[in-house]
Amino acid sequence: MDIGALLTSAAINTGLSVLLFSLYSILRKQPSNTIVYFGRRLASLNNRNSRNHFSFERFVPSPSWIVKAWETTENEILAIGGLDAVVFQRILVFSIRVFSIAAVTCMFLVLPVNYYGQEMKHKHIHAESLNVFTIANVKEGSRWLWAHCLALYIISCSACVLLYFEYKSITKMRLAHITTSPPNPSHFTILVRSIPYSVGESYSNSVKKFFTNYYASSYLSHQIVYRCGLVQKLMVDAEKICMRIKAAPKGQSSLKPCCLCGGSTSFKVLTDEPESVKDSFSYSNLNLATRDNERSAAFVIFKTRYAAVVATQMLQSPNPMSWVTELAPEPHDVLWSNLCIPFRQLWLRKIATLLASIVFMVLFLAPVTFVQGLTQLEKLSQTFPFLRGFLKQDLINHVLTGYLPSVILILFLYTVPPTMMLFSSVEGPVSHSGRKRSACLKILYFTIWNVFFVNHVSGGFLFAFNMLSSVGDIPVELAKAIPNQASFFVTYVLTSGWASLSCEVMQPFSLLCNFLKKHLLRNHEDSSDGLVSFPYHTEVPRVLLFGLIGFTYSVMAPLILPFLLIYFLLAYLVYRNQIVNVYITKYEGGGQLWPIVHNTTIFSLVLTQMISLGVFGIKKSPVASGFTIPLIICTLLFNEYCRQRFFPIFKKNVAQVLLEMDRRDEQSGRMDEIHQQLHSAYCQLPLTSHEFCESVHKLCQDNIRGREGTKSGKEPSEVSEPCAVCNFGKERSIGE
């Protein structure tokens, strides 16, 4: 690909990005789109912009959202999105810093060496091949290869120093998050799985006997996990009906004497008699506590945080497959459906999902190979001779080689996140954050393999399989292929990077759903039911993939760095805007994403150094090759130090910190209050629904008292509409 094709791709993506950003700045001002672009604020403030009058300002693009995103502080991000949002922003800040250093170093040191690496007559810049600006243009045995080695040292050392300070800072933030946050039920609670079956005794009694016997001084209570089918249905119905009651305007009722939550809901409209309301609103009617409904899992609550941590650090019985303990996730983070999975099935599920992921990665080779065929017009014209005349046109040539391959690959990649999320769900994680973290790793491995490695194999030497014959030959084969694939990855950064950010800020799917809802279904109410949390499992792998591409090509093809730096700057602003305005925080992951980021960055650095070692060997530069080997060793030693120094804090809770928190709560007299809150923290029917329904019950009682005080001549319907209250299990119990 020549510079003209690269400029064509850059022009297309720049124009598309500017158009979408401008369109976004207009659409966000329309009152009908408030739920799409200000969903988080709508959910937190429980109101919406009622400005429906026409104004010219609403239809004029403006950069005000960029200014607001830039002015948002890290403390505000922490308060809005939690520690995970801050960690994600730190990934972008780290990338901006390290690639700014790389861009300055390589553009002024490496790029001139590449351009003048061989004695040749240069064309006009727009007609030059992109290979002229890569290390492939440097002749063998050139003494100027020391410039590439020096740049590699500068980038690697800068990345390691920045990684160290980021890891240290985020570790302090994680500890501060634990100590300064309100009492977290997950610090007092452990999850016990694979509870042994006892004939004639319920799981609940077994748990109580076991922990009162061996943890008598620290055991507080426990909550057995029950069969999830009807319980989950009750949870969904409760949230829907109670949110409607909560959101109803004063003086009006959003409830009608009909089935609100679907054809077979657990709610019904009761009569106006006070006794009917009193009798029906009770959890006692929900007959969960039966032996048949219990599952061999339980949440066990301890009196102190330290006791809970100690209970998870040792085997509970001689059989390691019984009484398996781990720290419990936060109540809102619990994935209740997976708690019903027998513990002995988990290893089979992990093997099955691993095999399914490998098969999916292998099947994905077909579209990747097709995409790379588009970048090699010579082979394409040989395969399809009737296209030769068509492919000779400059515009068609530029579009096919500079734009279309990346677009097709991106379209295929849209199938990856939902597939990997499905695989992660089948694995059986006990928390939503754990499922997202598992999906994040799967998507990361998938994209690195299929987008990075396979593209180089199929593009650089489509019919050569020497790389697959020996693992030791991988760096050498990549060293041969990478300079030739620089054009594809430059356009990939433009298409997948710039354009994806434009789509992210536009939210096309939510915008389409909102349009259909309000203009076809004629439903003009803004509901927060459809709001989602930040998709870390898709965006973190995307950012890390661009980091891998940036490190690999910084020395090999420095022309990619300006485009990559623009992507990270745009991403910093776009994701900041989305965290503040769009996505809601449903649970807190505690910054667990950063170890993934650190390990991937170290992998990218070591891979870059090994590829550079192979390139220096191909270019017959023993001095550059010799100096690269110590750099690889030092990078691995640095990673080991960080793994020993920082990683354990992300894996386990610190006993010293938890003990100090326990003592502080005991001295302040808050421990009894905390214990009262812990009893209902892990109720399988969520506490929020209970609170909502309590408020509905109070409202009904007020209506009844008001009805008793009215004149006898008035009909009950003249006083208030019938109240809909929770009637869990009144008609039939779970066991039936």
316 & 450 share domain? no
Q: Is residue 169 part of a domain?
A: yes
User: Does the pLDDT of residue 707 top 60, yes or no?
Assistant: no
At residue 198, the pLDDT reads: 85
604 vs 487, higher pLDDT: 604
Please report whether residue 271 resides in a domain: yes
How confident is the model over 606-659, as pLDDT tens digits? Answer: 999 998 998 888 888 888 889 999 999 999 999 999 999 999 999 888 889 999
Task: Count Cβ neighbours within 10 Å for each residue of 157-173 and write b for 16 or more, e otherwise.
Answer: ebbbebbbebbeebbeb
**Could you tell me if 170 and 191 lie in one domain?**
no
- In 3D space, the residue among 638, 535, 542 whose CA is nearest the CA of residue 597 turns out to be 542
* The pLDDT of residue 351: 94
Q: Are residues 541 and 681 in the same domain?
A: no
**Which range among 240-244, 552-556, 599-603 shows the weakest confidence by mean pLDDT?**
240-244
With pLDDT > 90 as the criterion, what percentage of the chain qualifies?
A: 35
Q: 619 with 555: CB under 8 angstroms?
A: no
Q: Is there a domain that residue 457 lies in?
A: yes
- Which residue shows structure tokens 């061989």? 118
User: Are residues 171 and 231 located together in one domain of the fold?
Assistant: no
361, part of any domain: no
Residues 629, 721 within the same domain: no
Range of weakest confidence among 47-61, 265-279, 490-504, 639-653: 265-279
Residues pairing with 269 in the sheet: 724
Residue 191 confidence class, pLDDT cut points 50, 70, 90: very high
Is the same domain home to 193 and 310? yes
Q: Is the pTM above the cut of 0.95?
A: no
| Range 31-36 average pLDDT | 82
d(CA 33, CA 505): 13
Query: How large is the average pLDDT for residues 25-43?
Result: 81
198-235 pLDDT tens trace: 888 889 899 999 999 999 999 999 999 887 665 555 66
Query: pLDDT digits over 118-150, tens only?
Result: 766 666 665 576 778 888 888 888 888 899 999
Residues 566, 713, single domain; the answer is: no
Half-sphere exposure of 605 (CA within 13 A, CB side): 33
What does the pLDDT read at residue 46? Answer: 53
Q: How confident is the model at residue 579 (pLDDT cuts 50, 70, 90)?
A: very high
Amino acid at 568: F
Q: Please tell me whether residues 248 and 104 are part of one structural domain.
A: no
pLDDT tens per residue across span 422-466? 999 999 999 999 999 999 999 999 999 888 887 766 544 443 444
Nearest Cα residue to 596 out of 251, 279, 105, 170:
170
Q: Is residue 420 in some structural domain? A: yes
Q: 437-449 as b/e, with b when 16 or more CB fall inside 10 Å?
A: bbbbbbbbebbbb
Q: Are residues 686 and 599 in the same domain?
A: no
Indicate the SS3 state at residue 38.
coil
The helix (H) or strand (E) run that includes residue 221 is strand 219-226
Digit-coded pLDDT (tens) for 275-326 = 444 444 444 444 555 666 788 899 999 999 999 999 998 899 999 889 999 9
The answer to whether residue 345 sits within a structural domain is: no
624 is in which domain, residue-wise?
A: 3-181+366-651
- Residue 347: which region, alpha, beta or left (left: phi > 0; alpha: psi -120 to 50)? alpha
In a domain, 360, yes or no: no
**337-359: string of b/e by CB count within 10 Å (b at 16+)?**
ebbbbebeebeebeeebeeebee
Q: Which of 612, 636, 651 is the last residue of a domain?
A: 651
Question: Same domain, yes or no, for 500 and 625?
Answer: yes
pLDDT computed for residue 47 by the predictor: 46
Do 124 and 146 fall within a single domain?
yes
* Total domains, the chain: 2
Residue 616 is assigned to a structural domain of this protein: yes
Do 392 and 245 belong to one domain?
A: no
